[in-house]
Homo-oligomer: A and B are copies of this chain.
Amino acid sequence: MKVADMELRDREEDYVNINPLQTAGRTYAETRKAVSSYVDGYSVCDWCSGDLCSIDKPPVKGFLADVAEFLGMDAALLTNGCREAKYAVLHSITKPGDAVVVDGNKHYTTYVAAERAGLRIYEVKSNGPPEYGIDPEGYAEAFAKVKEETGSMPAAAILTHVDGSYGNVVDAERAGEICRESGVPYLLNTAYSSGRMPIDGGRIGADFIACSCHKSWATGGGNIGLLAVTDEWADKVFRRSSAYDVKTLEILGCSTRGSATVALMASYPRVKERVENWSSEVGNARWLMEELGKIGINQLGVKPTEHDVNFVESDVLYKISETHKKKNYYLYSELKKRGVVGIKAGLTKHFKLSTYGKTRAQVEHVARAFKEIVEEFA
């Protein structure tokens, strides 16, 4: 297997990429410069004195202090990703057999992290189609159920602030109040919120915030996350090894120890700026959802949309697939011809897309592409 056998990737340069996993992870020019410069081995550790998160050159330590403040929390740590941050919290503050409450729109990694930690998983269901909304009051009901069935309150609650399918923005502050009243530690999964929109952990009342930086902090292809906590929990979740007092147990001493760290630091000034433009991101998404609605591509989830990630349902696109010679792959192919990628190949009836970071002209181009396809084939 040579590089020649492995196609190089060109989607960001040659196409408008509307893949919800990728739009807000796209790197900036300065990020790519930093990644190239730090491409070689364990390079962030050139000046390490034993602890990744205390490195001053490059300024990891100062960056993390700034990030904690940016998120309205007290302390922050680098992790290999958002899922690893969630597992670190659960592994620190629960024991196998404990109960955890999650929401019905959770990412699969919330479930998998809880399962790996040996927890009993209780779920706050969404209100189903077409909204799939999560009512934070459901957490109070779930806590009562856990108490009734197990005799104790759950060891933790996890809320998906914004889910990666419908882009529903849940009232995290209300969930925070319920957790505080019940004394349940509260972990907020911000994989699709922090780095895109402003987050204030203090106002929300989160004990822990997990972030996905390759998804939402413009850090690109090297997987990396952040875990921010309040002072109340820092000693427990960021506890050190009994034998190596600079090594944080839950990240096995050091987590993401290379170019992804410098990529995140290089993108961070832009990320801090861009969250202030959130309303124009939502404006772009609303405009597109309205335009697509006119041709029978209908947004599910809370309406009007409050997020750049949206899930649509379309009978018109599905019907085309029944007669098109490329069958259900026609949509991927026709969009790509028009310079648009990021809808999963094979999907026509239900799919998700994101307009994050696109200019209005690019969003208009996406709308036009769908309109042309409907006009040509329907």
Which A residues lie at the B interface, using CB under 8 A?
1-3, 5-12, 19, 21-27, 30-47, 57-59, 62-63, 66, 80-81, 83-84, 87, 91, 108-109, 111-113, 115-116, 214-215, 219-223, 241-244, 247, 249-250, 252-253, 255-260, 262, 265-266, 268-269, 345
Contact = CB atoms under 8 A, between A and B. Distances in A.
A242 B118 CA distance: 12
Contact of A223 (B9, B47, B257): B257
B112 A249 contact: yes
A294 B253 CA distance: 38
Contact of A43 (B221, B244, B247, B262): B221
A357 to B, nearest CB: 11
Given A1-B62, A87-B252, 7 more contacts: A6-B34, A8-B34, A10-B37, A19-B46, A42-B223, A108-B243, A223-B258
Given A112-B244, A115-B241, A115-B243, A84 B41 contact: no
Contacts of A83: 252-253
A258 B35 CA distance: 13
Contact of A259 (B58, B115, B222, B250): B222
Contacts of A112: 241, 244, 247, 249, 252-253
A10 to B, nearest CB: 8
Contacts of A66: 1
B21 A42 contact: yes
Closest 8 interchain pairs by CB?
A25-B41, A221-B259, A221-B258, A8-B37, A22-B41, A3-B30, A83-B252, A80-B80
B26 A41 contact: yes
Contacts of A252: 81, 83-84, 87, 109, 112-113, 116
Among A116, A249, A250, residue most surrounded by chain B Cβ atoms (within 10 Å): A116
Contacts of A62: 1
A69 B261 CA distance: 33
A41 B218 CA distance: 8
A46 B115 CA distance: 27
A114 to B, nearest CB: 10
A69 B244 CA distance: 36
Nearest to A260: B222
A21 B19 CA distance: 36
Contact of A222 (B7, B241, B258, B345): B258
28 contacts: A1-B63, A3-B33, A3-B34, A3-B266, A5-B59, A8-B37, A9-B37, A11-B43, A22-B40, A22-B41, A25-B41, A27-B41, A35-B39, A35-B221, A35-B259, A39-B220, A40-B220, A41-B219, A41-B220, A44-B221, A80-B84, A109-B252, A109-B253, A113-B252, A115-B241, A116-B249, A221-B259, A223-B260
A320 B116 CA distance: 54
A356 to B, nearest CB: 11
A103 to B, nearest CB: 15
A91 B252 CA distance: 13
